[in-house]
């Protein structure tokens, strides 16, 4: 039982390049989330999906797009990376179809944009 799996774990991009962060959960959870964590800022919500087929913007959605591919998978895409998007990205999931509080997190994807 892997829980929440994120790929890649590390990535270096040049400004303007695009990439997709992948996330999959095997807990049959309905809700999935993407957060970013920056020093001194805490965890900030980028996008979330309360159920398969729905996505909503969080606190810091600009520069990102998401796709809820199916119940298990929720991807985050950076279309044109900027240095301000250098961060650690966490995917999380929770049971229920609303915005949960008991979240299960992946181990993170560390992104550097040069």
Partner 1 sequence: EDQVTQSPEALRLQEGESSSLNCSYTVSGLRGLFWYRQDPGKGPEFLFTLYSAGEEKEKERLKATLTKKESFLHITAPKPEDSATYLCAVQRTNQAGTALIFGKGTTLSVSS
Per CB under 8 A, 108 contacts partner 1: yes
* Alpha carbon distance 56, 45 (integer Å): 10
Per CB under 8 A, 19 contacts partner 1: no
Please, which of residues 27-66 interact with partner 1 by CB under 8 A? 40-45
Per CB under 8 A, 1 contacts partner 1: no
Per CB under 8 A, 98 contacts partner 1: yes
Q: Which residues bind partner 1 (CB under 8 A)?
A: 4, 40-45, 90, 92, 98-108
């Amino acid at each position: 039982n892997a829980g929440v799996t994120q790929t890649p774990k590390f990535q270096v991009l040049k400004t303007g390049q695009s990439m997709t962060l992948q996330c999959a959960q095997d807990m049959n959870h309905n809700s999935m989330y993407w957060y970013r964590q920056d020093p001194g800022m805490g965890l900030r919500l980028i996008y979330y999906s309360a159920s398969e087929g729905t996505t909503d913007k969080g606190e810091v959605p600009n520069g990102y797009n998401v796709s809820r591919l199916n119940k298990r998978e929720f991807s985050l895409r950076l279309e044109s990376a900027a240095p301000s998007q250098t961060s650690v990205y966490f995917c999380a999931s929770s049971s229920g179809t609303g915005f949960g509080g008991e979240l299960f997190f992946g181990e993170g994807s560390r992104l550097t944009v040069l």
